[in-house]
Amino acid sequence: DTAVSQTPKYLVTQMGNDKSIKCEQNLGHDTMYWYKQDSKKFLKIMFSYNNKELIINETVPNRFSPKSPDKAHLNLHINSLELGDSAVYFCASSQRRGTNTGELFFGEGSRLTVL
């Protein structure tokens, strides 16, 4: 039973298209995140939601819009895709908000390739 699952795992699309990545966690966690991992493996947080409320929104172009219909789901929609959006996007969840427990549970990633 996968704890944090993301779909799709691979996504290849053309510049200018709009695409979505979905994430679901069955751990009962309150907080969910989107991270972006670039080609050099550098990980950077994009968004964080706690109980459907946006709590972290890093400097991310507004072409990226997260949506959390409930605390078990956090989707990422990307408009007008650009070449630089090519990356692996990781969804993660954690049990407590605003603390330094630091234990995140990651999905397996969604590799987005923009042509």
Partner 1 sequence: AQSVTQLDSHVSVSEGTPVLLRCNYSSSYSPSLFWYVQHPNKGLQLLLKYTSAATLVKGINGFEAEFKKSETSFHLTKPSAHMSDAAEYFCVVSFTGTASKLTFGTGTRLQVTL
Q: Which is nearer to partner 1, 58 or 82 (CB)?
A: 58
Q: Is 84 helix (H, G, I), strand (E, B) or coil?
A: helix
Token pair listed for 99: 């603390």
Q: Which is nearer to partner 1, 46 or 78 (CB)?
A: 46
Q: Is the CA virtual torsion 98, 99, 105, 109 positive or negative?
A: positive
- Interface characters, 53-92, with partner 1 (x: CB under 8 A): --xx---------------------------------x-x
Please enumerate in sequence order all residues whose Cβ is within 8 A of that of 69, keeping only pairs 6 or more positions apart, or say none: 52, 75
State the nearest-atom distance from the C-beta of 80 to partner 1, in Å: 27
Q: For residue 93, state whether it binds partner 1 (rule: CB under 8 A).
A: no
Q: Which is nearer to partner 1, 75 or 94 (CB)?
A: 94
Distance (Å, rounded) from C-alpha 57 to C-alpha 47?
5
Token pair listed for 83: 């070449």
Q: For residue 15, state whether it binds partner 1 (rule: CB under 8 A).
A: no
Q: Considering only residues 11, 29, 48, 68, which one is a binding residue for partner 1 as defined by CB under 8 A?
A: 48
